[in-house]
Amino acid sequence: MNIPAIDISDYNYPLPDHRIARFPLEERDLSRLLISDNEEISTDQFANISEHIPQGSLLVFNDTRVIRARLVFFKPGGARIEVFCLQPDGAYGQTGEATWKCFIGNAKRWKSDNLKMEIDSPKGAITLLAERLEAIGDAHRVRFNWSLPEMPFEQVLEFAGKVPLPPYLNREPVSSDAERYQTIYAKFNGSVAAPTAGLHFTPTVLNSLETKGCRFDYLTLHVGAGTFKPVSVADAREHQMHEEEVIVEKVFLLKLLQNIQGNIIPVGTTSMRSLESLYWFGVQLLNGKEPSDRFYIRQWEPYESEVKIPAAESIQAIYDFMQRNNLTQVSGHTGIMIVPGYRFRICNLLITNFHQPQSTLLLLVAAFIGDGWKKAYQYALDHDFRFLSYGDSCLFFRKDQAK
């Protein structure tokens, strides 16, 4: 592997509990904005972000929608069992029955009996049953059945589930979380965590960016619970990165190609991870490796050999692949782990929130702006910025490197 050892303790910082934003601000775009351009730091309100973004930039949003993934069952004796729905076997809109990969809280109290929940819905009462199947690592497969089999399971979750707030918020969801832990452009069900950089955007902010000549487009990366998994090994290269599903439309690739020589700005680390994964999918195609179904980017694939293929050539290869196969969209899974030493091929700037100490997301930020992350985070701590999912925002300019 062509990257040096990564001591995760070098990516730690003191985060007092009271600096974690437990609730969002009253208005989305009233959050503060830290701007770091080659370690020169300035601040503003997020509502004014268009004043700091280069004219004509392409902003790439993740239009995934957070599902109500937390199901809380109570056994007849009162034991509380939480089933956290992670990923379905098949499509999200299953009817009749559905099988999902799930985390199970208090699993030792759930033996072989089925769990049962009574749900109120606009279509009447629903009885939901959960059957525990085999273990998959630290998760289990769970089969669900419900008394209105014609209703898609994603609707059942809307009535039965709770908003899956990040564990570090350490609170139960309230009614306002159903709206505020969701971007205004969320469209496709599938995430168990919000792409939080997008939570700051409002129609007014989008209009101000359009007035400046900026363009927008959307891809879909369904955020998994692994985004909160801490790096628990001393050398981050030994961390097992989670995999997430990426879906892009052919028309998105066209817009990407039209703007590939300009400023491409992912809104959030999920959009960045998707864009950089697309580059490596294009490299696979150029090397004669066409997927039989979905593409797959391995965790350390970008580091295994020196690749000098231009970004435009790589994205064009994906577009040509879709043309040949009459595809309007392409999907796959990415396990890519972006760490210091990674060379970015697509992204020039990054809009993101502040991330947890010793996390893979902080490693990604450090890869993008270098050691300047320490100065930026220390500035934020010294000036009372709000941290993590419901916290304030950053605009980072990439450290100097050729595209």
The string of pLDDT tens digits covering residues 56-115 is 999 999 999 999 999 999 998 889 999 999 989 877 778 889 999 999 999 888 987 899
Tell me how far CA of residue 98 lies from CA of 12, 90, 143, 149, 355, in angstroms. 41, 9, 6, 10, 34
Per-residue pLDDT at 348 = 93
Q: Phi first, then psi: what are they for 67, rounded to 5°?
A: -90, 160
Indicate where the chain has its CATH 3.40.1780.10 domain(s).
8-66+182-397
Q: Torsion angle, CA of 259/262/267/270, rounded to 10 degrees? A: 70
8, 231 contact by CB (below 8 A):
yes
The span from the CA of 216 to the CA of 198, in Å, is: 13
Condensed to tens digits (0 to 9), the pLDDT of residues 28-72 reads 999 999 999 988 999 999 999 999 999 999 999 999 999 999 999
Q: Which residues contact 51 (CB under 8 A, 6 or more apart)?
A: 44
Which residues of the chain fall short of a pLDDT of 70?
A: 1, 401-403
Q: Which residues contact 395 (CB under 8 A, 6 or more apart)?
A: 33, 34, 35, 36, 49, 52, 53, 349, 350, 351
Could you tell me where the beta strands, DSSP code E, fall in 51-96? 58-62, 64-66, 70-74, 80-88
339, 1 contact by CB (below 8 A):
no
CATH number of the domain located at residue range(s) 8-66+182-397 in this protein: 3.40.1780.10
Q: Phi first, then psi: what are they for 225, rounded to 5°?
A: -65, -20
Sign of the C-alpha dihedral computed for residues 207, 211, 217 and 223 taken in this order = negative
177: three-class secondary structure by DSSP: helix
Per-residue pLDDT at 30 = 97
Q: Which candidate, 225, 341, 332, 231, places its Cα nearest to that of 274?
A: 332
State the alpha helices, DSSP H only, in 181-324: 203-211, 250-258, 269-286, 311-324
Per-residue pLDDT at 399 = 86
| CB atoms closer than 10 angstroms to residue 33 | 22
